[in-house]
Amino acid sequence: MDHRTPAGETTAAEAADVWRRAREHLDGLPGGRGLNIAHEAVDRHVAAGRGARVALRCVAADRTATSVTYAELADRSNRFAGVLRSLGVGRGDRVASLLGRGPELYTAVLGTLKNASVFCPLFPAFGPAPVEERLRLGDVRVLVTSGDLYRRKVAGRRDALPGLEHVLLVGPGADPDSGTVSFDDLTAAASGEFTIPPTDPGEPALLHFTSGTTGTPKGAVHAHEAVVAHHATAALALDLRPGDVFWCTADPGWVTGMSYGIIAPLTHGLTAVVDSGEYEARRWYGILAQERVNVWYTAPTAIRMLMRVSPRGRPPELPRSFDLSALRFVASVGEPLNPEAVRWGQEVLGLPIHDNWWQTETGAIMIANTAATEIRPGSMGRPLPGVRAGVLERGPDGRADVTDGRVHVLEQAGAEGELALRPGWPSMFRGYLGAEARYRACFADGWYLTGDVVRRDADGYYWFVGRADDVIKSAGHLIGPFEVESTLMEHTAVAEAGVIGRPDPVAGEIVKAFVSLKPGYRPGPQVARDITAFARRRLGPAIAPREIAFEQNLPKTRSGKVMRRLLRARELGLPEGDLSTLESPS
Ligand code: ATP
Ligand code: MG
């Protein structure tokens, strides 16, 4: 019998059919030799006569841009694949990067995939300890980096990394006596011809470390087959169309920057903007204008930063001074997108912002507000075709209740519980490297458990409530920090907020908010009272924060997420835990 669970859930057969059809949009390796991400991203375009198209627009610090065509990218990645082969680096071996955003990073990723080795991008702003930890956990054999980053972050710890056999330096500084060789010399000397070896779709391709928002980062392994989901979801959730210029602002050190900064725009044969610089409002508007960006994929933290500069209700002088007329679609991921931000986009950019949800583990967008559907501000949207999502009843520990191996799927409208997905989508992670038990613990009763708490409305839209670990229990209420934070952000003085539960003998926990203020506002008791009164009116006294603290620099991960666990640990004087992904440790 066809057993449909929650509203709108597709059957396993329907989902399999969606992915089978999605696979038909890709070519596969010539001669039926399997599926390789790099072939889909580059070589197939060249083979089809599209080699002269611009694949990358690389924007330098001074905002001048250079183009790299698909043919050039094919040639360079062939050379790098040949370099790896000549070094004896082979199938399944790990190659990591610690590089700024530029063409060499693309060469390294695509060349590694062509060689059937596994690519592990590291965020270049990591300090020496997190770099070392990931190189060790990933059992990395080859590192591609720059002379400067190598000296500052790796050289002093090289002895502790016996598995790291080859260090290739982009730019000057290579010195064989100190164990480094020149990336540029090796690739220049290599052949521009390379035949990708047969690649099984299930073979490992990528190793991605999670953001470390809730604890120690985990290394999630993804297979070549993930490209089916990257390609399909980019069209559905990001509205990518032929000829588009696409800018994903995430660094490839995070999964978003890989799946949608590198792979998806290339499999679609589009032009990807690659900015070597950092967030800065004027720079960003400048890039959107000069590169005539059509589709822009960014993060709530960046949008909140732009909102600080040009708040609603004032003439948006800065964005108006740039020609943003090419921009057609804006999307965001990584954290909840507050309804205020959606409205800001509409008012200031003239475009709404489409929130979507996914994780390192899911490899691709799973739930989204799409171009084809109505946006509900504050909601992360609905599951994409082929994605089977459910809401599971939670137990006392806040996670899905698993009793005798069974979970309870909540079907009613408004149900709130742990978000779970039915395995079977192509970009699902295949394991946490070196942590088999932790991987197995993510599954129960035929579901993958995401660790996020959501509410699903009558029309199948999902609303983020919080991380299962972050949800606050106060006087019998379960309070999602996101709802409180979003309300606080509607106050005219508040730029950003992070909300935690502080233990309380009477209520169990009380809600405490840490807020940063917009330019022109000063912290003080009057503002605090004003914000508290505002929150009470909107949320009611049971949910509104009982305490407000001012924190101009909320602790964030390097991928820009508010670290509530750190706010809480500091508040309670508890150990701070793993800080390797903290933005600027203080
Ligand atoms: P760690 O797993 O190490 O604690 P992390 O979960 O932040 O870190 P990522 O895989 O980068 O690592 O982030 C995925 C998480 O980000 C999701 O599980 C969810 O909690 C949050 N997230 C992503 N997109 C959204 C969104 N649109 N709305 C709300 N939360 C989101
Ligand atoms: Mg996570």
pLDDT, one tens digit per residue, over 305-346 is 999 899 888 888 999 999 999 999 999 999 999 999 999 999
Task: Choose one of 435, 467, 499: the last residue of a domain.
Answer: 467
Does position 585 have pLDDT exceeding 70, yes or no?
no
> Mean pLDDT in the chain?
94
29 neighbors 15 (Cβ within 8 angstroms): no
- Report the distance separating Cα 516 and Cα 371, nearest Å: 33
Q: Are residues 198 and 248 in the same domain?
A: no
Pocket test for ligand 1, best of 206, 210, 562 (most atoms within 8 A of CB): 210
- Cα–Cα distance, 368 to 387 (Å, whole number): 11
> Are residue 246 and residue 373 in the same domain, yes or no?
yes
Give the span between the Cα atoms of 144 and 252, in whole angstroms.
14
Token reading at 579? 């800080």
Which residues touch 486 (CB under 8 Å, ≥6 apart)?
Answer: 336, 338, 339, 340, 378
Q: Binning pLDDT at 50, 70 and 90, where does residue 8 land? A: low
Domain that holds residue 358: 232-467
152 shares its domain with 49: yes
Asked if 444 and 392 touch (Cβ cutoff 8 Å), the reply is: no
Tell whether 89 and 130 lie within a shared domain: yes
62 and 183, same domain (yes or no): yes
Instruction: Give the side-chain half-sphere CA count within 13 A for 278.
Output: 7
Overall domain count for the chain:
3
Q: Is the residue at 120 inside a domain?
A: yes
Q: In CATH, what number is assigned to the domain containing residue 563? A: 3.30.300.30
* Average pLDDT of the residues in 42-53: 98
Distance CA 299, CA 135 (A): 27
Q: What ligand 1 atom has the least distance to the C-alpha of 332?
A: 27
Whole-number Å distance, alpha carbon 218 to ligand 2 midpoint, is: 8
209 and 336 assigned to the same domain: no
| Last-in-domain residue among 452, 467, 482 | 467
Q: Are 220 and 148 in the same domain?
A: yes
Mutate which of 255, 259, 297, 357 for ligand 1 pocket (most atoms within 8 A of beta carbon): 357
Q: How far is the CA of 334 from the centre of ligand 1 (A)?
A: 5
Give tens-digit pLDDT for 174-224. 999 999 999 999 999 999 999 999 999 999 999 999 988 777 789 999 999
CB 357 within 8 A of CB 462: yes
254 and 207 inside one domain: no
Query: Are residues 147 and 269 both part of a single domain?
Result: no
On the question of pLDDT at 19 being above 70, the answer is yes
The ligand 1 site (C-beta within 6 Å) comprises 210-215, 217, 254, 333-336, 355-357, 359-360, 380, 450, 452, 464, 467, 559, 561
Within 200-357, residue ranges assigned H as helices are 226-238, 255-258, 264-267, 281-290, 300-309, 317-320, 339-344
Q: What is the pLDDT of residue 3?
A: 37
Helix (H, G, I), strand (E, B) or coil at 119: strand
Substitution candidate for ligand 1 out of 218, 452, 465 with most atoms within 8 A of CB: 452
* Nearest atom (ligand 1) to Cα of 581: 3
At residue 398, does pLDDT exceed 90?
no
User: What pLDDT does 581 receive?
Assistant: 86
In a domain, 320, yes or no: yes
Q: Looking at per-residue confidence, does 278 or 200 come out higher?
A: 200
DSSP 586: -
Predicted confidence (pLDDT) at residue 5 exceeds the cutoff of 70: no
Q: Rounded to the nearest whole angstrom, what is the distance from the C-alpha of residue 83 to the centroid of ligand 2?
A: 35
Q: What would the pLDDT profile of 531-548 be if each residue is shown by its tens digit? A: 999 999 999 888 999 999
Q: In what order do the strands lie in the sheet with 65-69?
A: 65-69, 54-59, 271-275, 245-248, 295-298, 329-332, 353-357, 367-368, 382-383
What is residue 565's three-state secondary structure? helix
| pLDDT at 507 (0 to 100) | 87
Give the nearest ligand 1 atom to 464 CA. 29
**Domain-embedded: residue 11:** no
Q: What is the pLDDT of residue 396?
A: 83
- pLDDT tens for 442-472 read 999 999 999 999 999 999 999 999 999 888 9
Over 80: is that where the pLDDT of 9 sits? no
**Number of helices and strands (H, E) in the chain?**
19, 28
Q: Does some domain include residue 274?
A: yes
**How far apart (Å, rounded) are the C-alpha atoms in residues 293 and 57?**
11
24 lies in some domain: no
* CA 497 – CA 227 distance, rounded (Å): 36
**Once rounded to an integer, what is the mean pLDDT over residues 566-581?**
91
Q: What would the pLDDT profile of 342-390 be if each residue is shown by its tens digit?
A: 999 999 999 999 999 999 999 999 999 999 999 999 999 999 999 999 9
Atom nearest to 361 CA in ligand 1: 10
Q: What is the mean pLDDT of residues 65-81?
A: 98
Nearest protein Cα to ligand 1, atom 14: 359
- Which atom of ligand 1 lies nearest, measured to the CA of 220? 10
| The 3-state secondary structure of 193-235, one letter per residue | CCCCCCECCCCEEEEEECCCCCCCCCEEEEECCHHHHHHHHHH
Closest residue to atom 13 of ligand 1, CA basis: 359
278 within a domain of the structure (yes/no): yes
Ligand approaching nearest to the C-alpha of 480: 1
The answer to whether residues 534 and 491 touch, using CB atoms and an 8 Å cutoff, is yes
**Residue 6 confidence (pLDDT):** 47
Q: Last residue of a domain, which of 195, 224, 253?
A: 224
